Amino acid sequence: MSSSSDLPDGAAAGVPGGAPGRPEDRPWTGGPQAEAAGARPERSPRRNPIGVAALIVAVVVVVLGLIQQVIALLAPLLAYQAGAGAQSLGAVFAVFAVIIGLIALVALVLGIIGLLLRDRPRGPAAAGAAIGASTLLSVIVGAAAPLLYSLAG
Protein backbone atom coordinates (compact mmCIF):
# COMPACT_ATOMS: atom_id res chain seq x y z
CA MET A 1 0.00 0.00 0.00
CA SER A 2 1.48 3.35 -0.98
CA SER A 3 1.00 6.59 0.84
CA SER A 4 1.02 10.08 -0.60
CA SER A 5 4.65 10.43 0.52
CA ASP A 6 5.61 7.63 -1.95
CA LEU A 7 4.37 9.71 -4.91
CA PRO A 8 6.68 11.98 -6.89
CA ASP A 9 6.78 15.64 -5.92
CA GLY A 10 3.52 17.36 -7.06
CA ALA A 11 1.94 14.11 -8.27
CA ALA A 12 -1.72 13.25 -7.80
CA ALA A 13 -2.90 9.80 -6.82
CA GLY A 14 -4.58 7.85 -9.60
CA VAL A 15 -3.01 9.88 -12.43
CA PRO A 16 -0.44 7.92 -14.47
CA GLY A 17 2.95 9.54 -14.29
CA GLY A 18 1.82 11.98 -11.65
CA ALA A 19 0.35 15.41 -12.19
CA PRO A 20 2.30 18.64 -12.09
CA GLY A 21 1.22 20.99 -9.34
CA ARG A 22 -0.21 23.84 -11.47
CA PRO A 23 -3.45 23.32 -13.42
CA GLU A 24 -2.17 25.28 -16.41
CA ASP A 25 0.70 22.77 -16.73
CA ARG A 26 -1.72 19.89 -17.20
CA PRO A 27 -2.16 19.35 -20.96
CA TRP A 28 -5.43 17.41 -20.57
CA THR A 29 -7.14 20.47 -19.09
CA GLY A 30 -6.65 22.64 -22.14
CA GLY A 31 -3.97 24.88 -20.63
CA PRO A 32 -1.28 26.76 -22.58
CA GLN A 33 0.80 23.62 -23.13
CA ALA A 34 -2.16 21.82 -24.70
CA GLU A 35 -2.75 24.68 -27.13
CA ALA A 36 0.96 24.81 -27.99
CA ALA A 37 0.93 21.06 -28.60
CA GLY A 38 -1.95 21.46 -31.08
CA ALA A 39 -4.71 20.16 -28.81
CA ARG A 40 -7.98 22.01 -28.98
CA PRO A 41 -9.30 23.43 -25.74
CA GLU A 42 -12.67 22.04 -24.75
CA ARG A 43 -15.58 24.08 -26.02
CA SER A 44 -18.96 24.14 -24.42
CA PRO A 45 -21.55 22.24 -26.44
CA ARG A 46 -23.68 24.37 -28.71
CA ARG A 47 -27.31 24.69 -27.82
CA ASN A 48 -30.41 25.16 -29.90
CA PRO A 49 -32.81 27.41 -27.96
CA ILE A 50 -35.23 27.62 -30.87
CA GLY A 51 -35.38 23.82 -31.04
CA VAL A 52 -35.98 23.63 -27.30
CA ALA A 53 -38.73 26.25 -27.63
CA ALA A 54 -40.33 24.15 -30.39
CA LEU A 55 -40.32 21.13 -28.12
CA ILE A 56 -41.80 23.10 -25.21
CA VAL A 57 -44.57 24.50 -27.43
CA ALA A 58 -45.22 20.97 -28.74
CA VAL A 59 -45.58 19.67 -25.19
CA VAL A 60 -48.07 22.47 -24.48
CA VAL A 61 -50.03 21.36 -27.56
CA VAL A 62 -50.11 17.78 -26.32
CA VAL A 63 -51.30 18.88 -22.86
CA LEU A 64 -54.05 21.05 -24.43
CA GLY A 65 -55.07 18.09 -26.57
CA LEU A 66 -55.38 15.93 -23.47
CA ILE A 67 -57.46 18.62 -21.77
CA GLN A 68 -59.69 18.73 -24.83
CA GLN A 69 -60.17 14.96 -24.63
CA VAL A 70 -61.16 15.17 -20.97
CA ILE A 71 -63.64 17.92 -21.80
CA ALA A 72 -64.99 15.78 -24.65
CA LEU A 73 -65.65 12.98 -22.17
CA LEU A 74 -67.41 15.24 -19.70
CA ALA A 75 -69.12 17.61 -22.15
CA PRO A 76 -72.29 15.61 -22.85
CA LEU A 77 -73.01 15.21 -19.15
CA LEU A 78 -72.25 18.86 -18.36
CA ALA A 79 -74.25 20.10 -21.36
CA TYR A 80 -77.23 17.97 -20.39
CA GLN A 81 -77.16 19.28 -16.82
CA ALA A 82 -76.80 22.88 -18.01
CA GLY A 83 -79.48 22.49 -20.67
CA ALA A 84 -77.04 23.43 -23.44
CA GLY A 85 -77.48 22.12 -26.94
CA ALA A 86 -75.17 20.51 -29.43
CA GLN A 87 -74.44 23.86 -31.06
CA SER A 88 -72.79 25.24 -27.95
CA LEU A 89 -70.70 22.07 -27.59
CA GLY A 90 -69.61 22.41 -31.20
CA ALA A 91 -68.58 26.00 -30.60
CA VAL A 92 -66.45 25.02 -27.59
CA PHE A 93 -64.68 22.31 -29.56
CA ALA A 94 -64.18 24.63 -32.54
CA VAL A 95 -62.47 27.18 -30.31
CA PHE A 96 -60.25 24.45 -28.86
CA ALA A 97 -59.40 23.21 -32.36
CA VAL A 98 -58.40 26.69 -33.54
CA ILE A 99 -56.24 27.32 -30.46
CA ILE A 100 -54.56 23.92 -30.69
CA GLY A 101 -54.06 24.33 -34.45
CA LEU A 102 -52.39 27.73 -34.06
CA ILE A 103 -50.09 26.53 -31.28
CA ALA A 104 -49.22 23.42 -33.33
CA LEU A 105 -48.34 25.70 -36.24
CA VAL A 106 -46.01 27.68 -33.95
CA ALA A 107 -44.32 24.44 -32.84
CA LEU A 108 -43.92 23.35 -36.47
CA VAL A 109 -42.41 26.67 -37.59
CA LEU A 110 -40.04 26.85 -34.61
CA GLY A 111 -39.01 23.24 -35.21
CA ILE A 112 -38.24 23.90 -38.87
CA ILE A 113 -36.21 27.00 -37.97
CA GLY A 114 -34.36 24.98 -35.31
CA LEU A 115 -33.57 22.28 -37.86
CA LEU A 116 -32.16 24.84 -40.29
CA LEU A 117 -29.61 26.19 -37.80
CA ARG A 118 -26.11 24.90 -38.49
CA ASP A 119 -23.95 23.12 -35.94
CA ARG A 120 -26.76 22.86 -33.43
CA PRO A 121 -28.42 19.84 -31.84
CA ARG A 122 -31.41 18.85 -33.90
CA GLY A 123 -33.23 16.43 -31.60
CA PRO A 124 -35.51 18.89 -29.79
CA ALA A 125 -36.21 20.80 -32.99
CA ALA A 126 -37.11 17.61 -34.85
CA ALA A 127 -39.36 16.43 -32.03
CA GLY A 128 -41.11 19.81 -31.86
CA ALA A 129 -41.59 19.92 -35.62
CA ALA A 130 -42.89 16.35 -35.74
CA ILE A 131 -45.37 16.83 -32.90
CA GLY A 132 -46.47 20.18 -34.33
CA ALA A 133 -46.97 18.74 -37.81
CA SER A 134 -48.89 15.69 -36.62
CA THR A 135 -51.12 17.78 -34.37
CA LEU A 136 -51.77 20.31 -37.13
CA LEU A 137 -52.64 17.51 -39.55
CA SER A 138 -54.95 16.00 -36.94
CA VAL A 139 -56.73 19.32 -36.43
CA ILE A 140 -57.14 19.84 -40.18
CA VAL A 141 -58.51 16.33 -40.74
CA GLY A 142 -60.76 16.68 -37.69
CA ALA A 143 -62.16 19.95 -39.03
CA ALA A 144 -62.55 18.67 -42.60
CA ALA A 145 -64.27 15.39 -41.72
CA PRO A 146 -67.66 16.91 -40.71
CA LEU A 147 -67.61 19.07 -43.84
CA LEU A 148 -67.01 16.03 -46.02
CA TYR A 149 -69.77 14.10 -44.23
CA SER A 150 -72.22 16.93 -44.78
CA LEU A 151 -71.35 17.11 -48.48
CA ALA A 152 -71.75 13.37 -48.92
CA GLY A 153 -75.07 13.09 -47.12
Give the mean model confidence (pLDDT) for residues 75-81. Answer: 80
User: CB-hemisphere CA count at 13 Å for 34?
Assistant: 13
Confidence band of 25 (pLDDT split at 50, 70, 90): low
Whether pLDDT at 29 is above 80: no
Please give the residue that has the higher pLDDT: either 93 or 49: 49
Q: Is the pLDDT of residue 59 over 70?
A: yes
pLDDT in the model for residue 34: 52
> By mean pLDDT, which of 16-20, 67-71, 131-135 is the weakest?
16-20
Cα separation of 91 and 88, whole Å?
A: 5
Q: Cβ contacts of residue 40 below 8 Å, gap of 6+?
A: 30
Instruction: Determine the pLDDT at residue 81.
Output: 81
pTM of the predicted model, to two decimals? Answer: 0.66
Reported confidence tier of residue 75, pLDDT bands at 50, 70, 90: confident
Say whether pLDDT at 99 is over 70: yes
For range 57-77, the mean pLDDT? 92
Q: Which class for 2: exposed (0-12), middle (13-18), buried (19 or more C-beta within 10 A)?
A: exposed
Measured distance CA(50)–CA(120) in Å, rounded: 10
Confidence tier at 28 by pLDDT (50, 70, 90): low
